[in-house]
Amino acid sequence: MTTLSDLPHPLDLSDEEVGRGIARGDERCLTEAHHRWGGLVQTLAARVLGDPREAEDVAQQVFVAAWRGRAGFRPERGTVPAWLLGITRHKTADALADRTRRREIAAAVAPRPDAEADHGHDRVLDRVLVTRELARLPRVQRDVLALAFYGDLTHTQIADRTGLPLGTVKSHARRGLRSLRRNLELTGAAPAG
């Protein structure tokens, strides 16, 4: 499989010509943009996320999003690096939100500290209750939460895998977590709050 960094480079173009080429759909210009500004994108993502591996994933998502959204790029409004950094800010924010949601899911299904200290068998009961409550969720919410928690996938990865729009994935995750938490609180398996 050929990646952007495997393609020939460099093009003898100005930054503005690279931008116009991307807007026209010239793949070579996207490759050139990756060569010129991929390190900048990845560095910003790594600073925000604090995880170089996650930053690599975000950098890849940025260039995919740039290619998909190339029709919206207006060279007369700004430079390619500024446009890419704007996409990077959005993608890192999504990654941070996904990370927070995964932690919320983990907290929702984690055994209560008092149950852990006092009754080991309560942990088993809690897991049974969580499994039962997950099964009661609508299929798509259950699938999204399972992919996020057990598959450790980001919302973007879930959207790619399921074919659902990213906003729909986020909505299903939020609604599913809310329902799961409410139902677990009603059964006494999760702390209120």
Contact between 90 and 97 under an 8 Å Cβ cutoff? The reply is no
Residue with tokens 């009961």: 125
Q: Is the pLDDT of residue 69 over 70?
A: yes
Please state the length of the chain: 193
pLDDT band at 59 (very low <50, low <70, confident <90, very high): very high
pLDDT band at 5 (very low <50, low <70, confident <90, very high): very low
Instruction: Round to whole Å and give the CA distance between 13 and 127.
Output: 59
Q: Which tokens belong to 49?
A: 């996320």
Q: Quote the pLDDT of residue 2.
A: 43
Kindly report the CA angle at 44 between 42 and 50, in degrees rounded to 5? 90
Instruction: Round to whole Å and give the CA distance between 121 and 129.
Output: 13
Query: What are the tens digits of pLDDT across the range 28-51?
Result: 999 999 999 999 999 999 999 898
pLDDT band at 107 (very low <50, low <70, confident <90, very high): confident
Mean pLDDT across the stretch 68-89? 91
Contact between 105 and 149 under an 8 Å Cβ cutoff? The reply is yes
Q: Quote the pLDDT of residue 126.
A: 64
State how far the alpha carbon of 185 is from the alpha carbons of 21, 82, 133, 166, in Å. 55, 46, 11, 28
Contact between 55 and 46 under an 8 Å Cβ cutoff? The reply is yes
Q: Which tokens belong to 113?
A: 């500290």
**CATH 1.10.1740.10 in the chain, residues?**
4-96
Mean pLDDT across the stretch 81-109? 86
Instruction: Round to whole Å and give the CA distance between 20 and 17.
Output: 5
Residue with tokens 């057990």: 150
Query: What are the tens digits of pLDDT across the range 135-156?
Result: 788 888 888 888 887 778 888 8
Q: What is the CATH number of domain 110-187?
A: 1.10.10.10
**CATH 1.10.10.10 in the chain, residues?**
110-187
Contact between 130 and 189 under an 8 Å Cβ cutoff? The reply is yes
| Model pTM score | 0.54
CATH 3.90.209.20 applies to domain 4-96: no
